[in-house]
Structure 1
Amino acid sequence: MTTTPPVQTMSLTLKALRVHRRGPVLSVQLHEPDQGNLVSDAMLDDLLAVLDSQAPEVRVLVLSGAGQDFSLGGDRSEFAEHLLDDPTGGRLRASGVKGRRVCDALISNPAVTIARVQGRAIGAGFALALACDLRVGTESTTFRLPELTLGLPATWGGLLPRLIQEIGAARVRDIVLTSRPLGATEAQSLSLLQKVVPAEDLDAAVDGLTKAVLRRPAHAYRVTKTLLNSYAAAGRLADATALDPELMAAVAAETHRPTPSTPQGPSTAEPVW
């Protein structure tokens, strides 16, 4: 008879995440539901802390979002604060570097990473889900990249080359240049979602993928993930995403010049990323 491992909590002080581990499965939940799980610097710091301290015994990492939506993207009020504090874009650049580090850590994670995507995944939220190996959504899941609508380049977390590799350049041009949302059916047809299920079956679908991974030898998965990432990197010889934070900061500093009267409270407008 198989016994269920006890739930273990991490000894980290986290502001924007809820994290627990059950044996070889690490569950990481973006936990700012009142703000649509906006990706703030605090959330990025939390994600880096969790990923940096991940136990070697972890074989599956499940990334989810609390509430109705996976993530509505970057924190727009924090974006404005960064530019007000440093009009040259320096603070925004530092935030972008964190975002790139988080996505790289998910992509290169030795565990199999699964994104549990409900509701909307916008901008930076889209990038976090895309950085995972597998993505499961519901019939109401949508993805969107609204950057150009907001006068910004699509440069966050190394998203563009990974998206091009996953679904192809022509499709990416359509999604990025029109800023249109992708519903679950289209997302699955493009392999942005590997599985789409009714909302009430979402956890069961994630559990099914988790159990499938755990039934197979751990060392085979580690080697295979390394090979997949290596082959992917070989196809991106012109990958210039290390410049993403510089490009974002440069464009934002030029086109989004805040004034002291810029509102600094929580924004109900469209997310930045």
Structure 2
Amino acid sequence: MKEIISVEKAGPVATVTIDRGAKRNALTQDMVLRLTDIALEFQQDTSTACVVLSGNDAEFSAGIDLGDPARWKQDDRTALEKRALALRGTRLCKAWEDMPQITIAAVEGMNVGGGIALTLACDWRVMGRSAYLFVPEVQIGIPLGWQTIPRLVNLTGPARAKQIVLLGEKMSADKALEWGVADFVVPDGAARGHARALAERISKMPDLAVRMSKQSINAYANALNHLGSHMDVDQAMLCGQSADAAAARDRYGR
């Protein structure tokens, strides 16, 4: 049986591929945990210089799987258990952000919600020209979480971040490039190849200098990120328990 998440290493470059077929790479809780474990393993890996994170040829991710009972059926859980579960996405993105390797997300087709959160935790984003971004969280009754807000504000500024989060409009690759959410736009089908080519360039540079440069840039750029978003999981839990949010999820899932 084909793995949903695979890891391929070619010398100092690794490629992590998400391919859930017809499920459009919607992220289940098991997938979130697996992607977190992969990032934590790379944090201890001194032989890999760069990691490419890719979806399949059709899409990067449809976001969190709204049909995953492990995420929404929580009536028998304690408040502490519910919060621990809700923090999984935060830990996933932090694990990828903290990887010492340069990380490059390759995006074809759609990238939605939690998928965007994951790619914003990477260093660079390469998008196919027909790819698009979509942030539906507010439309389903919850704030954008996983400590994504400060990462988004760092890239776009506050006014544009509000447009992306609140208006819930699909954003084209060209607009993502203009607004700083994407770093490279390439012909459709070429995102993974372009990301790997960038990774090969990075892998030929002195690895220690690359890692320390990334660490210094992130330390400055992200210095206040946790302070500004450490309670976003609690905000999401509070909003998500409302009747309005439940009705919105129901409508969105149809």
TM-score w.r.t. the length of structure 1 is: 0.83
2:141–2:246: 8 Å Cα contact kept in structure 1?
no
Q: Helix, strand or coil for the counterpart of 1:148? A: helix
2:23 and 2:79 map into 1 onto residues whose CA distance is 24
What is the number of equivalent residue pairs in this alignment? 250
Q: How does 1:107-118 map to 2 (within 5 A)?
A: 107-118=97-108
Q: How does 1:26-41 map to 2 (within 5 A)?
A: 26-41=14-29
2:157 and 2:69 map into 1 onto residues whose CA distance is 30
Q: How does 1:1-273 map to 2 (within 5 A)?
A: 16-54=4-42, 55-78=45-68, 82-86=72-76, 92-155=82-145, 157-234=146-223, 236=224, 239-255=227-243, 269=253
163 and 81 in structure 1: CA distance in 2 versus 1, 3 angstrom threshold:
closer
Alignment-mate amino acid for residue 22 of structure 2? D
Q: Which has the higher helix share?
A: 2
2:80 and 2:69 map into 1 onto residues whose CA distance is 12
Q: Helix, strand or coil for the counterpart of 2:87? A: helix
Q: Helix, strand or coil for the counterpart of 2:241? A: helix
Query: Unaligned regions of 5+ residues in structure 1, if any?
Result: 1-13
2:36–2:96: 8 Å Cα contact kept in structure 1?
no
Query: Unaligned regions of 5+ residues in structure 2, if any?
Result: none
Q: Could you report, residue by residue, the CA deviation over 1:171-216 in whole angstroms, capped at 9, with x for unpaired residues?
A: 0111111111110110011121111111243333112211220121
Moved more, 193-202 or 97-106: 193-202
51 and 81 in structure 1: CA distance in 2 versus 1, 3 angstrom threshold:
closer
Alignment-mate amino acid for residue 25 of structure 1? V
1:98 and 1:71 map into 2 onto residues whose CA distance is 17
Shift of 1:131: 0.8
Alignment-mate amino acid for residue 94 of structure 2? D
2:244 and 2:46 map into 1 onto residues whose CA distance is 43
**Sequence identity percentage:** 28
TM-score w.r.t. the length of structure 2 is: 0.89
Rg larger in 1 or in 2?
1
